[in-house]
Amino acid sequence: MKRLFLFNILLLSISAFSADVKIGNENVGIAFEDETLKEADKAIIIEDIRLVFSTGKEITFRPYEKKDKHCPGKDGFLDTNGKSYYWPSIFRESSFYHYRINPQTSKKELLVSKQMSDMYLQAIKFKETHKKEFKKLDKFLKRVEKGFQPEKMTMAEKKELFWFVPGRAIFKEESFNYNLRSITTYSILYPSLLAFQDLEIENVTILCCVITIQRKENGNLSDAAIVYDKNKWKILVF
């Protein structure tokens, strides 16, 4: 398959809304910097964070031996223990991987910065304006998850499952068969709201979604991309 994130002063400005997210073996609180967020939007964001971290079963919480000058107000970080995860880049850019200890509850918390929640609000709006595409996504992912039998498919049916970057040579039939069989060796993880965007590829603007796939035999994660073209989701081939 082609390979197609001053503490006391800050605390005063954080919304009191909080909810638990399971990360590794711990339940962690989620706090929001933006006090103007609607409760419905917070709920959507938290649910998406749960989805993103559902792959992080091997994560460990590592406390800082001394305060990290690069992350003031944070008490530790999420250690992935050398495993690669394909999480939204804003998680890293907004220091979401760093946790703090709530002085009132002594509970670990992750802070959704205003930058991060603003990005989520854009993603929520994006989904609202692409209802047809999102509605078809579930059916497509289930079809891919089920797998294919290329020997029972016509060449036209095989071609319909892939989207080739303009100018790139299209597979020969044996390459289609190889990729279709490879798909059955992976499980597909439902994508985050932050995984969707209108992408320009070779002067063609197309709706693209980056998905995380997991190798069934060893659990290793990697990523792939799908695009929406001519009323259908397809696997992107670079």
pLDDT, mean of residues 141-151: 93
Mean pLDDT (the chain, rounded): 87
Q: Strands 26-32 and 15-23, how do they pair?
A: antiparallel
pLDDT tier at 57, thresholds 50, 70, 90: confident
Question: Which residues lie below 8 Å from residue 187, measured CB to CB, with a gap of 6+?
Answer: 145, 213, 214, 216
pLDDT tier at 4, thresholds 50, 70, 90: very low
pLDDT, mean of residues 223-229: 95
User: Is the predicted pLDDT of residue 128 greater than 90, yes or no?
Assistant: yes
Q: What is the pTM of this model?
A: 0.85
User: Is the predicted pLDDT of residue 3 greater than 50, yes or no?
Assistant: no
Cβ contact 132:105 at 8 Å: no
Tokens of 62: 């590592």
Residue 222's SS3 state is strand
pLDDT (0 to 100) of residue 166: 86
Strands (E), 40-149: 60-63, 76-79, 98-101, 108-112
User: Is the predicted pLDDT of residue 132 greater than 60, yes or no?
Assistant: yes
170-209 pLDDT per residue, tens: 899 999 999 999 999 999 999 999 999 999 988 889 999 9
pLDDT tier at 67, thresholds 50, 70, 90: low
User: Is the predicted pLDDT of residue 2 greater than 60, yes or no?
Assistant: no
Cα 66 to Cα 28, 74, 129, distances in angstroms:
21, 10, 46
pLDDT, mean of residues 51-56: 87
Tell me which DSSP letter residue 158 carries. H
User: Is the predicted pLDDT of residue 71 greater than 80, yes or no?
Assistant: no
| Element housing 152 (H / E) | none
Residues above pLDDT 70, as percent of the chain: 90
